[in-house]
A and B are shown apart, each in its own frame.
Chain A
Amino acid sequence: MTTTTSTRNNKSAIGGLIFVLLGVIVVSTVGVVLHTLSADPQKKLYATVSGTMSTPQGVLPHAFIEEGVYPDSVLSKSHGANGGSHPGWPSYGPATHLVLPAHSYVTMTLTVYDSGEKLNHAYFGKVVGTVDGTMTIDGTQVSALPADGVQHTFTLHGLPTSTQDPLFVNVPLPKMTDDQMKVYDDKGTLPVGHKVVFSFITGGKGEYVWNCEYPCGDGTYAKFGAVMGQLGYMSGKVSVA
């Protein structure tokens, strides 16, 4: 009788352990699925290094990267042939995950094609974090734009952690006027946009995010809906590798 009870208890204990293990496996599987779903959906764009640049930090590799800022994702061609699931959303292109070399002098060229209204906060009209605190617009050097002269911003930042160097860059992008929007390029597919060029210096390896601080979402609530809440259009990542 005692042996039978003892055997039954042992079976119960083993059954319990197996059940708990199965439970842990189920929860872990949910985690793995979520982690997989969390895979970065953004296409990567790598900077190309060409030559060096003399800076106060010494001679650094000179990296170049080019992006466009489009009024809709059909033109940006970064979300499929027909603009993907949100063809009407403005978008950076051809990619929104930028990969830059560490400890480098990076020159970024943004060709911008969109119109604009007004920034919510004039601070984002200032150029911050670039070499000399300036940028060039179609060859003219400027350090700020008026709040109502902006179409979007490129604002790069990261969490203040002890594990990576701080990096903050804010560049306001000039809006296209209605007249400028009517002048098309040689192919007739895009207006002739503004060319914005600026440079900044990267530190050590790290992960950062960038986003547009101009409210360019849909009509709900100060235009902070839709695209402003979605990675891969007007926001993305910067990996300093």
Chain B
Amino acid sequence: MTTLEHQVGSHPIPNPQKSLITKLHMGTGLVIGAIFAFGTYYWLRSGQDMTVARNVNKVLLISMFMWSFGFMLGIGAFIGPFRWLIGKDLTAEEQLFLAGEGQGVSRYFRYCTDHKVVGIQYLVGVMAMLGVGGTLAMMIRTNLISPGSKFVTPVIYNSLVGLHGITMIVAMIVVSTGPFGNFILPIMIGARDMAFPRLNALSWWVLFTAIPVLCSAWFLGGIPTGWTAYAPLSVQAGPGMNAFVATIIIFAISTAVAGANITATVVTMRAKGMKWNRVPIFVIGATMSVALAIPAFPTFMVSMIMTALDRTAGTTYFDANFGGSGWLYAHLFWIMGHPEVYVILLPGVAILMEVAPVFVRKPLFSYTAAILGFAGIAGLSVLVWAHHMYMSGWLPMLNGPFMVTTEMISVPTGLIFLVILGTLWRGKPWMKLPMLSVYAFLWNMLIGGVTGVYLSDVPADNYLHGSMYVTAHFHYTLMGAALTGAIAGLVYWFPKMTGRMLNERAGYISFWFTQIGFQILFLGMFIAGAEGQPRRVADYAAVYRNSDRISTMGAYLIGTGMITLLWAVVHSWRKGAIAPMNPWGAKTLEWTVPFPVPLENFDEAPIITSDPYGYGRSEK
């Protein structure tokens, strides 16, 4: 067995004092990134006519990428690859230093390769992104509290919608696979680490560099296009659009790296005896999610590179006047966009399928059906993208086939439902917080799913597309189902990740505020949408006043619930009750390791002899 500790022996590892690696951290990354960004900006602009939009776009985009590169250089991400270029590698001591052993809190601010540190970094980062996106949502709903409220100008409103959308989408894509896929998943499969620990750190810190880039949009005039950034609107938009383009390109690199890493880890590093039919369902869901993201996100990145070229180099990929096509953008976007919905949904649902057997003390009902459901969703999700383009005028003869593939996706989704219902059937649920989320999911996903069937139907979509009905539908699936699953995961694995129990009372208050507010907000929005209120518009006709006012009240309830959850997390992390090793009595491997989880997780490599859901039956 070759592990880091075996390589360097059992002695405490001294800091490799002479190594540059020990000098680099987030602070040096920020400084060098800022120097690269501003240095590039002022150097490039001195030779450009900055009254020409294309030159401004060019200078800003290059500066943003240089920020990201400079930060990664400053935090030490390229030391290992540079050593490879000169035929060397990091020493064992340096590798152990990178793993963060014995560094306390400071390891969370370094280029740390320990998957548990990366998991915590993702958790905090995702919570921050959700906080920002949620705050923007409160602003949007405040502006819509009554017709003509003029809380913000239409220009700022458009930016609010665009930034809320893209911030939430980025956060939701990593909300489950980021924290739990990194912290919990390797332990669940009995691995000592991820397959590529340095890529693991790279994926987080690259994503981190995208956050300031996205925030810079505020200071550059905002994003006026909504999160879909449709061309040609995105091509002619102001300087803030560069922040969107750069963010997506950087984010796509991060997700590709993370996806490849998680997939490789699950395929190659499962414990002895963990055959595919013994892999915990969360691992299956998370792996399918990231594997689906690997082919999906590059098309988004390509669309953004083309947008960047149209904005900076005078190409006309999306300009119909010169042989380009706006449909080309729509295709590239939605070929990513619809699988992306399931990239978000699958791990959230998988968490709930992981939670349900634990809290009803029954085996997961039809593990095979669950796998088929996931596989069916993943497979069909790449064949449905053009249902977003029914009304665009692109090849109407294909509307029918895309309607069929879209409606077919209800079948594997139904399987997932049946698996959860079958698991609950005649069980005696232990009504803890994670279990409440399972029931909330069933309700929300039912509404999200059924309303989605109407939108998949071409004649109905003719009436409903572009309305608040669509907004309500996808919030029911993404927030009502996927985020609810992620919150269940947070509560469920909080004891393993922090060593403490989450404050239950605050958790219940948060749950009910959030779920009740959610129903009020989005059921109200369904009504407004069915009556014809368009989405993404700052003002509306007086006829929608009541629906919108009700929706805004619901939004404030959600806001209160989410702040309460944030308090529960912060308070419990600091002062919560000390958690036992396995507070839920679960059977998966992560509950067999103590807190804090040792650097390489297991003293002895585990050997798996049964499936992880053998509640109430003898082991096979």
By a beta-carbon cutoff of 8 Å, the part of chain A in contact with chain B is 12-13, 15-16, 19-20, 23-24, 26-27, 30-31, 34-35, 37-38, 40, 87-88, 159-163, 207, 217-218, 220-222, 224-226, 229-231
B319 at interface by CB-CB < 8 Å: yes
| Complex contact B236–A225 (CB within 8 A) | yes
B235 at interface by CB-CB < 8 Å: yes
B559 at interface by CB-CB < 8 Å: yes
A31 and B142 in contact, given A16-B506, A207-B148 (Cβ under 8 angstroms): yes
Residues of B within 8 A of A161 (CB): 147-148, 541-542
Name which of A26, A38, A207, A226 has the most chain B CB atoms within 10 A of its CB. Answer: A38
| Complex contact A30–B135 (CB within 8 A) | yes
| Complex contact B570–A221 (CB within 8 A) | no
B232 at interface by CB-CB < 8 Å: yes
B301-314 vs A, Cβ < 8 Å mask (1 yes, 0 no): 00000000000000
Q: What is the bound-complex CA distance between A229 and B53, given in angstroms?
A: 14
Residues of A within 8 A of B94 (CB): none
Select B235's contact among A159, A160, A217, A220, beta carbons within 8 Å. Answer: A220
| Complex contact A225–B153 (CB within 8 A) | no
Q: What is the bound-complex CA distance between A220 and B321, given in angstroms?
A: 10
| Complex contact B567–A19 (CB within 8 A) | yes
Q: How far is the CB of A210 from chain B (nearest CB, A)?
A: 14
A159 and B142 in contact, given A34-B152, A38-B152, A225-B53 (Cβ under 8 angstroms): no
Q: What is the bound-complex CA distance between A23 and B566, given in angstroms?
A: 9
B23 at interface by CB-CB < 8 Å: no
| Complex contact A27–B138 (CB within 8 A) | yes
B503 at interface by CB-CB < 8 Å: yes
B268 at interface by CB-CB < 8 Å: no
Residues of B within 8 A of A40 (CB): 153
A20 and B153 in contact, given A34-B139, A221-B232 (Cβ under 8 angstroms): no
A159 and B539 in contact, given A24-B560, A222-B321, A231-B153 (Cβ under 8 angstroms): yes
Task: List 18 contacting pairs A-B, 8 Å CB cutoff, sorted by A.
Answer: A12-B575, A19-B566, A19-B570, A20-B564, A23-B559, A23-B563, A24-B563, A34-B156, A38-B151, A88-B51, A163-B147, A220-B232, A224-B236, A225-B236, A225-B237, A226-B53, A229-B238, A231-B155
Chain B residue, CB-CB nearest to A161: B542
Residues of B within 8 A of A162 (CB): 542
Residues of A within 8 A of B505 (CB): 13
| Complex contact B542–A31 (CB within 8 A) | no
Select A31's contact among B138, B237, B238, beta carbons within 8 Å. Answer: B138
Select B560's contact among A20, A31, A35, beta carbons within 8 Å. Answer: A20
B224 at interface by CB-CB < 8 Å: yes
Select B563's contact among A19, A87, A221, A226, beta carbons within 8 Å. Answer: A19
Q: How far is the CB of B495 from chain A (nearest CB, A)?
A: 18
Residues of A within 8 A of B570 (CB): 19
Q: What is the bound-complex CA distance between A37 and B222, given in angstroms?
A: 13
| Complex contact B139–A31 (CB within 8 A) | yes
Q: Of residues 124 to 148 in B, which have CB atoms within 8 Å of A's CB atoms?
A: 135, 138-139, 142, 147-148
Q: What is the bound-complex CA distance between A16 and B571, given in angstroms?
A: 8
Q: What is the bound-complex CA distance between A38 and B152, given in angstroms?
A: 5
Q: How far is the CB of B132 from chain A (nearest CB, A)?
A: 9
| Complex contact A35–B151 (CB within 8 A) | yes
B interface: dominant SS: helix
Select B156's contact among A19, A38, A230, beta carbons within 8 Å. Answer: A38
Q: Of residues 537 to 581 in B, which have CB atoms within 8 Å of A's CB atoms?
A: 539-542, 559-560, 563-564, 566-568, 570-571, 575
Given contacts A19-B563, A218-B53, 9 further A-B contacts (CB under 8 A): A12-B571, A13-B505, A16-B567, A38-B153, A159-B540, A161-B147, A207-B150, A225-B237, A230-B155
Q: How far is the CB of B162 from chain A (nearest CB, A)?
A: 13
Q: Which 5 A-B pairs have the closest CB atoms?
A: A23-B563, A225-B236, A19-B567, A220-B236, A38-B152
Residues of A within 8 A of B156 (CB): 34, 37-38
Residues of A within 8 A of B135 (CB): 26-27, 30
| Complex contact A20–B563 (CB within 8 A) | yes
By a beta-carbon cutoff of 8 Å, the part of chain B in contact with chain A is 51, 53, 135, 138-139, 142, 147-148, 150-153, 155-156, 160, 224, 232, 235-238, 319, 321, 503, 505-506, 539-542, 559-560, 563-564, 566-568, 570-571, 575
Chain A residue, CB-CB nearest to B562: A23
Q: What is the bound-complex CA distance between A15 and B505, given in angstroms?
A: 13
| Complex contact A19–B571 (CB within 8 A) | yes
Residues of B within 8 A of A37 (CB): 152, 156
Q: How far is the CB of A234 from chain B (nearest CB, A)?
A: 14
Residues of B within 8 A of A226 (CB): 53, 236, 238
Chain B residue, CB-CB nearest to A29: B135
Q: What is the bound-complex CA distance between A16 and B139, given in angstroms?
A: 23
Residues of A within 8 A of B155 (CB): 230-231
| Complex contact B503–A12 (CB within 8 A) | yes
Q: What is the bound-complex CA distance between A80 and B157, given in angstroms?
A: 27
Residues of A within 8 A of B138 (CB): 27, 31
Residues of B within 8 A of A222 (CB): 321
Q: What is the bound-complex CA distance between A30 and B140, given in angstroms?
A: 12
Residues of B within 8 A of A27 (CB): 135, 138, 559, 563
Q: What is the bound-complex CA distance between A217 and B53, given in angstroms?
A: 12
Q: How far is the CB of B63 from chain A (nearest CB, A)?
A: 19
Q: What is the bound-complex CA distance between A31 and B568, given in angstroms?
A: 24
Residues of A within 8 A of B503 (CB): 12
Residues of B within 8 A of A12 (CB): 503, 571, 575
Chain B residue, CB-CB nearest to A229: B224
Select A221's contact among B319, B540, B559, B567, beta carbons within 8 Å. Answer: B319
Residues of B within 8 A of A230 (CB): 155
Chain B residue, CB-CB nearest to A160: B541
Q: What is the bound-complex CA distance between A23 and B540, given in angstroms?
A: 29
Residues of B within 8 A of A20 (CB): 560, 563-564, 567
Name which of B139, B232, B235, B567 has the most chain A CB atoms within 10 A of its CB. Answer: B567
Chain B residue, CB-CB nearest to A15: B571
Residues of A within 8 A of B542 (CB): 161-163
Chain B residue, CB-CB nearest to A224: B236
Residues of A within 8 A of B560 (CB): 20, 24
Q: What is the bound-complex CA distance between A16 and B153, given in angstroms?
A: 34
A30 and B139 in contact, given A23-B566, A159-B541, A161-B148 (Cβ under 8 angstroms): yes
Chain A residue, CB-CB nearest to B503: A12
Chain A residue, CB-CB nearest to B572: A12
Q: How far is the CB of A85 from chain B (nearest CB, A)?
A: 9
Q: How far is the CB of A237 from chain B (nearest CB, A)?
A: 10
Q: How far is the CB of B616 from chain A (nearest CB, A)?
A: 35
| Complex contact A217–B236 (CB within 8 A) | yes
Q: How far is the CB of B474 from chain A (nearest CB, A)?
A: 23
Q: What is the bound-complex CA distance between A23 and B560, given in angstroms?
A: 8
Q: What is the bound-complex CA distance between A162 and B546, given in angstroms?
A: 14
Q: How far is the CB of A7 from chain B (nearest CB, A)?
A: 14
Residues of A within 8 A of B571 (CB): 12, 15-16, 19
Q: What is the bound-complex CA distance between A19 and B540, given in angstroms?
A: 35
Residues of B within 8 A of A231 (CB): 153, 155
Chain B residue, CB-CB nearest to A26: B135
Q: How far is the CB of A216 from chain B (nearest CB, A)?
A: 13
Q: How far is the CB of B222 from chain A (nearest CB, A)?
A: 10
| Complex contact B151–A31 (CB within 8 A) | yes
Q: How far is the CB of A104 from chain B (nearest CB, A)?
A: 22
Q: What is the bound-complex CA distance between A161 and B539, given in angstroms?
A: 10
Name which of A161, A163, A226 has the most chain B CB atoms within 10 A of its CB. Answer: A161
